[in-house]
Structure 1
Amino acid sequence: MINRLALMYLLSSGLLSGVSSMALAQEFACNAPPPAETSIGGIGYYTDAAHSKVDPRLKAESEAELKPFHDFSDRLTAMTDDYLGKNDQGAGRCALAWLNAWASAGAMLGVMVHTNNDQPDYTRQWTHGTAALAYLKTEALATVEQRRVITNWLRRLTALNLAYWENPKHKRNNHYYWTGIGVMGTAVATHDPDLLQKAKGIYRTGINAIQPDGSLPMEMARKRLALHYHDYAIAPLVLMAELARMQGEDWYAYNGRAIERLADRVAEGYANPSGFERETGVKQAQAKPRGSSGWVEFYRLRTRHPELFDMMHAAGPFREPRLGGDLTLMASRGLR
């Protein structure tokens, strides 16, 4: 049986409206979300100029401080995956209740508490993308009031995240592309053509940075993590292109399909990292794809030579909350 606190949360969030309360409680136990934090902290944990070596103690401290955001993202995307993959409407409604709770509380709209880097801003950008994709996946179940509250919150997060990038000192590397997921997801959710154009500008910045050999100079500078960060940088670009497809636009074709050069470079790097090692002068730290490599599940459906990505695909299934959850599932079922 669901506990009394969780049942009270179900009742207050409207999940039990119009049905038997206890019947739905038995079907899906919707616990309350982590407390909505308005401000964000976090600590930078790289110890070298290339940001390639991690201090385990600092990373553990940062992870502990950011745990509410990670827990929110992990559980939220698990529920939206259950809705998408199993048609578990209880899970979908619970995900919307979580989004509504954080939106109503103004989560992440407060102060970014900087210690030694911009980890708070990055966390807000990542979590915004998670929230926007979660909303798109469950929007069909949302009440009128939930639509209003959640989309208004997503718009406010968008404005704050875009404002961060107005500072010319902020390098527009993979972090800029990851901001684009939240901006693009919000644009699609709100049918806002101006936001769509802002998202397109972010996407094009990423694509225009791709060199003739498929490399990204700012990510190659990450030395032993260069392969990882090329992989990590293409992920939000592919997700943005997929969201554009939902709007009837083909962003994969932009700039002579330059994204193919980057995708091919990553796939070749996993097959044989010698090219990255030759250019960086160091052995690469990442030997195989990980959760954020799940962009390949979408990309292999769009490329003219999907066989190049068979090895990466075989490393799945892939799950990454910052990209919406189970990417293998999302690629097979669609984003909404």
Structure 2
Amino acid sequence: MTTRNLVRCLAWVLGTAPLLLSTTAMAQDCPATPDPVFTLDYGSRYADDSVNRSDLDAAKSAEVDEALGPVDDFLRDLTNIANGVYLPDADQGAVADCVLGQVADWATVGALAHLQSGNAKMTIGSRLASLGLIVLQAAPFRTTDRDLDAIRPWLADLMQRQMMYWEADAPDGAKRGNLRAWAALGGAAAAAILEDPVVRGWSAWSATYVLCTAEEDGSLPQEMSRGRYALHYQMHAAAPLSVAAALLYRQGVDIRDRCDDALGRVVGFIKSDIYDGKITEAKVGEPQSYFDGTDTLEGFHLAWIEAYLTIANDPNLDTLAEPYRPMSYSKLGGNQTLMWAKQ
């Protein structure tokens, strides 16, 4: 047993492990690793009688936010650190070792291993996507393999659980929607880290499964069932589908032309309707949230465009994105404008 692992084991027995920093993190004056989250157990954000999941229950939504808050805060902070590897004059090795050291602190104690509710299992995919994209940014600049070696088996286990859940236990509707797409993105990132063809194949299969549900006009039926949030959720699905396609392309798997260019049609639907939402309104019978005062279109909603433009030449989409740049979204690994410009 290494000295580092011996210290971890002793600390765990004494109940102080969540407060430990990896030696790498300490050496680089890295912020303290937050306490790991081991268990997630929460219900739906939506009212019990909301058949199409378009009516949020404020109290239930707040409970979900509270449960996921420590995980999301950790990932948001990590993306801010990880994006630093692209900055001019950055000490890339120090940044990378800090990021990987913090993730390794969660990995070595088995964080996120106990997902008690179906909702936790369905929504962890976007967090695994964020985690994987963070690690992918840092890994090329690491000065030691130690932390990445600790992360890999943990990430492999989390992805194995996700694959089994989506194939065996997930509700039929969810299997065709954005939550499956986010799990697919988590798989695409994990496959690159693990160099695992099985995870890569599952990611491509899952993303394609969702894409192939698209109607001729590019609308995704599962997302169009969301009432005034339909366009919002169409875009929420396009984000992981586009980034997964870009990541898989770099791993030698091209899903762009599957199901008669489904990805291009999904994106095209958004491009055609993003300015007033009238196409979606006509389909679902309700004004859309971006245009009825419920929601405001922000840069993070469109951040996926940067990855999509690396696999598709679309000047009009580039023009759409320009006023919002730089665009950042923690679930996609942070600053997309910066990240994908460096690919």
TM-score, normalised by the number of residues in structure 2: 0.85
Q: What's 1:164 paired with?
A: 165
Is the partner of 1:14 in helix, strand or coil?
A: helix
Alignment counterpart, residue 208 of structure 1, candidates 202, 207, 212: 212
Q: What's 2:80 paired with?
A: 78
Quote how far apart the aligned CAs of 1:168 are.
5.6
Matched AA of 2:255: W
Is the partner of 2:56 in helix, strand or coil?
A: coil
Quote how far apart the aligned CAs of 1:42 are.
2.9
**Aligned equivalents of 1:66 and 1:182: distance in 2?**
17
Quote how far apart the aligned CAs of 1:155 are.
0.3
Alignment counterpart, residue 315 of structure 1, candidates 320, 324, 327: 324
8 Å contact from structure 2 (residues 25, 31) kept in 1: no
Closer, same or farther: CA 13–292 of 1 in aligned 2, 3 Å: farther
Please list every run of 5 or more consecutive structure 1 residues that lacks an aligned counterpart in the other structure. none
- Residues 284-334 of structure 1 show CA distances to partners (whole Å, capped at 9, x for unaligned) of 002424414211122234334322442244223222111111111112112
Quote how far apart the aligned CAs of 1:9 are.
5.2
The reply to whether residue 298 of structure 1 matches residue 307 of structure 2 is yes
Quote how far apart the aligned CAs of 1:91 are.
2.6
Matched AA of 1:217: P
Matched AA of 1:248: G
Quote how far apart the aligned CAs of 1:160 are.
0.8
**Aligned equivalents of 2:163 and 2:222: distance in 1?**
20
- Residues 123-168 of structure 1 show CA distances to partners (whole Å, capped at 9, x for unaligned) of 4222211111111111120622222210111100101111211126
8 Å contact from structure 1 (residues 77, 324) kept in 2: yes
Please list every run of 5 or more consecutive structure 2 residues that lacks an aligned counterpart in the other structure. 1-15, 292-296
Q: What's 2:339 paired with?
A: 330
Alignment counterpart, residue 13 of structure 1, candidates 23, 27, 34: 23
Matched AA of 2:281: E
Superposition CA RMSD, Å:
2.1
**Aligned equivalents of 1:36 and 1:310: distance in 2?**
41
Q: What's 1:121 paired with?
A: 121
Deviates more, 1:56-65 or 1:238-247: 56-65
Alignment counterpart, residue 235 of structure 1, candidates 239, 246, 264: 239
Closer, same or farther: CA 168–322 of 1 in aligned 2, 3 Å: closer
Is the partner of 1:258 in helix, strand or coil?
A: helix
Quote how far apart the aligned CAs of 1:189 are.
1.1
The reply to whether residue 150 of structure 1 matches residue 151 of structure 2 is yes
**Aligned equivalents of 1:329 and 1:82: distance in 2?**
10
Quote how far apart the aligned CAs of 1:32 are.
1.7
8 Å contact from structure 2 (residues 79, 333) kept in 1: yes
Q: What's 1:51 paired with?
A: 53
Quote how far apart the aligned CAs of 1:57 are.
2.4
Is the partner of 1:271 in helix, strand or coil?
A: coil
Is the partner of 1:237 in helix, strand or coil?
A: helix
Matched AA of 2:60: L
Is the partner of 2:274 in helix, strand or coil?
A: helix
Q: What's 2:10 paired with?
A: none
8 Å contact from structure 2 (residues 107, 151) kept in 1: yes
Is the partner of 1:31 in helix, strand or coil?
A: coil
Quote how far apart the aligned CAs of 1:60 are.
1.9
Q: What's 1:285 paired with?
A: 289
Closer, same or farther: CA 190–269 of 1 in aligned 2, 3 Å: same
8 Å contact from structure 1 (residues 96, 142) kept in 2: no
- Residues 229-286 of structure 1 show CA distances to partners (whole Å, capped at 9, x for unaligned) of 1101111111111112222343223333221111011111112311100111001002
Q: What's 2:65 paired with?
A: 63
**Aligned equivalents of 1:41 and 1:308: distance in 2?**
39
Deviates more, 1:240-249 or 1:264-273: 240-249
Identity among equivalent positions (%) equals: 25
**Aligned equivalents of 1:38 and 1:291: distance in 2?**
28
**Aligned equivalents of 1:178 and 1:229: distance in 2?**
12
Aligned length: 313
Matched AA of 1:267: K
Quote how far apart the aligned CAs of 1:68 are.
0.9
**Aligned equivalents of 2:279 and 2:20: distance in 1?**
54
Q: How does 1:264-279 map to 2 (within 5 A)?
A: 264-279=268-283
Q: What's 1:251 paired with?
A: 255
**Aligned equivalents of 2:108 and 2:123: distance in 1?**
19
8 Å contact from structure 1 (residues 36, 107) kept in 2: yes
8 Å contact from structure 2 (residues 242, 304) kept in 1: yes
